[in-house]
Amino acid sequence: MSICCADIPRLPGLESIRFRAGLTGGQRIVRWPYVAENDTIQPWVSGGELVFVTGINHRRTERNLCQLVEEAIHSNVAGLVILTDPEFIQQIPNSVLELANKHKLPLLEQPYSLKMVLVTEVISNAIVQSNLLGKSVRLFLTKLINGFDQAPELIHLRAGDLGISDTNPFSVLALRINPIDSETLTTQHQLLHVHQELEEHLGSILKRRGIDWPVLNYEKDLLAIWPMTDTDTTELYEEARSSAHPAAKALSAIDIMYRCQ
């Protein structure tokens, strides 16, 4: 129910965009496209952006491209797309590719001949459509938790419309963020930022396992729901606990509240 970096070359009209590095981070969720026009991107991003580097208005040296990769990592952007052309950025240096691979940052290459207006339109439309479907699925799953007041036949039909299989039981994972102490999280904004990062991280964990359902906000918890299979899901619980984003680890205690099947 979300667009990730690995989806970008598969979108209609964007087939000429190539994945060059950071393939293992391909499930990072793209919240919106952003075209970088300055020497630095850090002041202008807040996380989840797919950053396009054109080299048109600012000359991009190998050193500057490595700097952008470092900033992208620290700013938790979804990935970088570097436009290449004989006149501007002729090729992506190996040092840039190696740095992106080292930090599992998705790095894609786009031919300059592919118009940015088309690229941003296709990606933005895909994000909007995905979000609309995600909202419908999120509402359905929330009702599933709270209990439906509809006939089972209608519930089954609605699940089918949304592409949700209701033939198997569901597994549920709940995470709760507890501030370590009252002085650690000084503002509500910090807590919301950590909550958002953990929600995106949990969504990425699910998507890597082929679970394309949204993470729910339910009271104080983050809930992940997926249909049970024969595959053991213990490792998913362990990864959710152990590999949370560094900001969440530093600012809060993450509790797995319950697990049910």
Residue 129 lies in a domain: no
Residue 123: what pLDDT?
97
Is residue 126 in some structural domain?
no
Q: Does residue 208 fall inside a structural domain? A: yes
On whether residue 135 sits in a domain, the answer given is: no
Tell me the CATH number at 109: 3.40.1390.20
**Burial of 49: CB neighbours in 10 Å, binned 0-12, 13-18, 19+:** buried
Of 15, 18, 17, 55, the residue nearest 39 (C-alpha): 55
In-domain check, residue 162: no
At CA 133, angle to CA 145 and CA 246, rounded to 5?
Answer: 70
Rounded to whole angstroms, how far apart are CA atoms 81 and 26?
A: 13
pLDDT per residue as tens, the chain (261 positions): 678 999 999 999 999 999 999 998 998 889 999 999 888 999 999 889 999 999 888 889 999 999 999 999 999 999 999 999 998 999 999 999 999 999 999 999 999 999 999 999 999 999 998 888 777 887 887 777 777 667 777 777 878 777 777 777 777 888 777 665 555 545 666 667 677 777 777 877 787 777 777 888 777 778 888 777 655 555 666 666 565 555 444 444 444 444 444
Give the chain's length. 261
Q: Residue 32 falls within a domain, yes or no?
A: yes
CATH number, residue 207: 3.30.70
Rounded to whole angstroms, the Cα distance separating 193 from 184 reads 13
Question: Is there a single domain that holds both residue 13 and residue 115?
Answer: yes
Verify that 244 and 177 share a domain, yes or no: yes
Task: Verify that 115 and 12 share a domain, yes or no.
Answer: yes
Residue 60 domain flag: yes
- String of DSSP letters for 54-69: --SSS---HHHHHHHH
Contacts of 193 (CB under 8 A, 6+ apart): 247
| Listed residues 56, 91, 121: the one ending a domain | 121
To 10 degrees, what angle do helices 234-242 and 188-208 make?
150
Q: How many structural domains are present in the chain?
A: 2
Residue 233 has what pLDDT? 58
Amino acid 195: pLDDT: 73
* pLDDT value at residue 252: 44
- Provide the pLDDT for residue 75: 92
Q: Token pair 């208005």 is at which residue?
A: 57
The answer to whether residues 176 and 220 touch, using CB atoms and an 8 Å cutoff, is: yes
Domain membership of residue 152 (yes or no) is: no
User: 9 is in which domain, residue-wise?
Assistant: 5-121
Cα dihedral across residues 84, 28, 195, 184: positive or negative: negative
CA distance 22 to 104: 4
Q: What is the pTM of this model?
A: 0.66
Neighbours of 25 (CB within 10 A): 22
Do 83 and 190 belong together in one domain?
no
- Same domain for 187 and 253? yes
Start-to-end CA span in the chain (Å) = 23
Q: Are 15 and 108 in contact (CB under 8 A)?
A: no
- DSSP β-bridge partners for residue 227: 170
